[in-house]
Structure 1
């Protein structure tokens, strides 16, 4: 491994200790006070295999103290990691900034974004997410992370039959999309998302988008509603030696209660337990300018805490 000395391990105040004694997240720092972007990019490029292995083992890597300051710097870092781009297909409002770089979810900063795996509703989802802090918020705005298989383990102890049903049947979500963009919504309006004001054409484009959808209906105010699912709820990744079961259903997302694959509503007490468990197991990353946060999306969920402006975090999605 070349130039590995350039990546020194550090720690942050909030962390979890894994079974093998590793810290979650793994924090990687420069060895001196004046690192260059070129040296950082070379360290990433020459240590790709080591980085891959650490990411698979720990789940999250935080690169801190390096001189990345712009979307262009971040795009160069994304390319240096060497992972193939995964197209963004989710419902959140995002803007492509440069190259492979998007804005993170553009929902209002005073609203939280709850824990989820990125594009969990798709069979093919990005295996890696990369975030970059261009502007750190003055207060709040942490990105919270949690190991998803720990949620499954603890939910299985409390609700063994529910976990079995989730593995077998998945969950279905009722979704409601406004006609026009709503600045207070996490979801784009269907007219801008599907680039049409024709309802039949919007239905066709929704059906071809890769979402598992059914029961499309229309309200008098132009709102489109449909059921999304069943979504695979607990995933075991092929080749994972530990056969970890990732809690992959977004049961705490949105304002509506998901349904189990065979129809009954997801139990409210189970959702409350899920929220309690996830808050006990998670780690909040307080952003610093220049931070690069790499997540294994197969095993790690993430969330956004409310913040005061300004806050600018950029994102990239990798296969």
Structure 2
């Protein structure tokens, strides 16, 4: 009988085959449908992907996707705390903006805010963050710490589509006249002027208003009225596309629920409303125009159900956001980044 012996190869005789990882992408991308760009969905394609590291190493790529899609939903990356979220936001942004008076701070450290405190049974309407100011964040991100039991979506809408679908006559007025926002700081009705401006000194407030281009007017016992003229549309500094960029729906009294609107108008003169908005020449924005704008917003709105650990990053100059009513505990935190001044954009485009 012939004996056959199979010799085992020693470790020294085994040739190791090189594995090329240069084309391995640790994330995968998808869209809700082929014709719906917003939002791009990015998920991990492997275990234990560090989203902050990936975003930091691919910042230009992320920015390109934001310019194309308007927003990105990062899902499944095991983010669990506001600190995790802040780390990712810092990787995407050049600089996190941490001096925003309209939102309460999250905790005592870091640069993260909690979302707008507003009755949970009411919607927060569509707006581009700080578009009623002369400087605004180009990036805004949201992170879901606690998802609501019911409702609580954060609808997003591509403002390039809104601009294109508006009635041409409406679009022309917003382009040519711009907008004038009027805000009355009255204690107990909105953020106080002391909190918003982080001072008790009226002279400091007046100087801050002058620098911001606001018209400040003191009235009554301790109330402040501020007027600010802003653009109604914006040409994106990178893509060149035009967006419907404003907070007209968030500020116009006609956009409130009928019972809330009637209640406010029974208490205040129109000029004393906590917030209101006019065309830039001070003329009234017609209720029919507001109805038209609301229809266009809702026609193009995109909703997704929050999952805990989800993070959404938007190009604030392309995409507006809102909030649906909700039931049960809900906690969304916010990070703002890469502030831009309107006058700088104007000079660059001149």
Same fold (TM over 0.5): yes
Q: CA RMSD in A?
A: 2.5
CA contact (8 A) 2:206 2:216 kept: no
Distance 1:100 1:164 in 2: 38
Distance 1:209 1:63 in 2: 37
Partner SS, residue 25 of structure 2? helix
Partner SS, residue 109 of structure 1? coil
2:305 maps to 1:286:
yes
1:126 to 116, 137, 145: 137
Change in Cα spacing, 1:7 to 1:286, as seen in structure 2 (3 Å) is same
Distance 2:84 2:297 in 1: 33
Superposed CA deviations along residues 126-170 of structure 1, whole A, max 9, x for unmatched, are 111111111111111111100111111111xx2x23322322221
Aligned-residue offset at 1:290: 0.5
Q: Counterpart of 1:276?
A: 295
Change in Cα spacing, 1:104 to 1:205, as seen in structure 2 (3 Å) is farther
Which segment drifts farther, 256-265 or 116-125?
256-265
Aligned-residue offset at 1:195: 4.5
Change in Cα spacing, 1:305 to 1:46, as seen in structure 2 (3 Å) is same
Aligned-residue offset at 1:7: 1.1
Distance 2:283 2:118 in 1: 30
Distance 2:238 2:65 in 1: 16
Change in Cα spacing, 1:265 to 1:2, as seen in structure 2 (3 Å) is farther
Change in Cα spacing, 1:2 to 1:254, as seen in structure 2 (3 Å) is farther
Superposed CA deviations along residues 28-63 of structure 1, whole A, max 9, x for unmatched, are 11225xx32x63333222222221211111111101
Q: Counterpart of 1:207?
A: 209
1:17 to 6, 11, 35: 35
Distance 1:122 1:77 in 2: 26
Q: Counterpart of 2:230?
A: 231
Q: TM-score, normalized by length of structure 2?
A: 0.76
Superposed CA deviations along residues 3-41 of structure 1, whole A, max 9, x for unmatched, are 8622112445xx6824xxxx3211111225xx32x6333
Which segment drifts farther, 121-130 or 282-291?
121-130
CA contact (8 A) 1:235 1:248 kept: yes
2:175 maps to 1:167:
yes
CA contact (8 A) 2:252 2:277 kept: no
CA contact (8 A) 2:105 2:111 kept: no
Change in Cα spacing, 1:2 to 1:271, as seen in structure 2 (3 Å) is farther
Aligned-residue offset at 1:315: 1.0
Q: Counterpart of 1:64?
A: 75
Distance 1:95 1:61 in 2: 24
Distance 2:330 2:313 in 1: 19
Q: Counterpart of 1:253?
A: 250
Aligned-residue offset at 1:125: 1.3
Distance 2:152 2:23 in 1: 33
Distance 1:306 1:253 in 2: 15
Q: Counterpart of 2:186?
A: 178
* Higher helix proportion: 2
Q: Counterpart of 1:77?
A: 88
Distance 1:178 1:249 in 2: 23
Q: Counterpart of 2:40?
A: 26
Gaps of 5+ in 1: none
Partner SS, residue 127 of structure 1? strand
Gaps of 5+ in 2: 1-20, 254-275, 339-350
Q: Counterpart of 1:95?
A: 105
